[in-house]
Amino acid sequence: EAGVTQFPSHSVIEKGQTVTLRCDPISGHDNLYWYRRVMGKEIKFLLHFVKESKQDESGMPNNRFLAERTGGTYSTLKVQPAELEDSGVYFCASSPVAVESSYNEQFFGPGTRLTVL
């Protein structure tokens, strides 16, 4: 069974440009999470989808970030316009159970390294 995949693995863009990151969760997983690690900081939660609905987007830094999960399958995270401080590694994770519980293990993708010049 394929794991969580992310595309691209690395993106280099200029300040002001737009970038769209994609995450394909494990098939059948209702929960999809986005996290990011910016330089020198801890990984931070961005948002959580349950199927196509945003369950929790309290970690989204500002309105330059837009996440979607149309159809409840793959998700995209768009940054528009990108700023220098957006550089970092963006991770996606998925977990199977629709109802949150203590035992809902998350499976992580390889991450997308975003560099904004």
Partner 1 sequence: KNEVEQSPQNLTAQEGEFITINCSYSVGISALHWLQQHPGGGIVSLFMLSSGKKKHGRLIATINIQEKHSSLHITASHPRDSAVYICAVRSRSNYQLIWGAGTKLIIKP
Residues numbered 51 to 90 that lie near partner 1 (CB under 8 A) are 56, 58-59
Interface mask toward partner 1 for 27-46; x: CB under 8 A: ------x-x-----xxxxx-
102 CB-near residues (< 8 Å, 6+ apart): none
Torsion of CA 52, 56, 61, 67, to 10 degrees: 0
Q: Are 26 and 107 in contact (CB under 8 A)?
A: yes
Nearest residue (CB) to partner 1, 63 versus 101: 101
Nearest residue (CB) to partner 1, 96 versus 110: 110
Binding site for partner 1 (CB under 8 A): 33, 35, 41-45, 48, 56, 58-59, 91, 93, 100-111
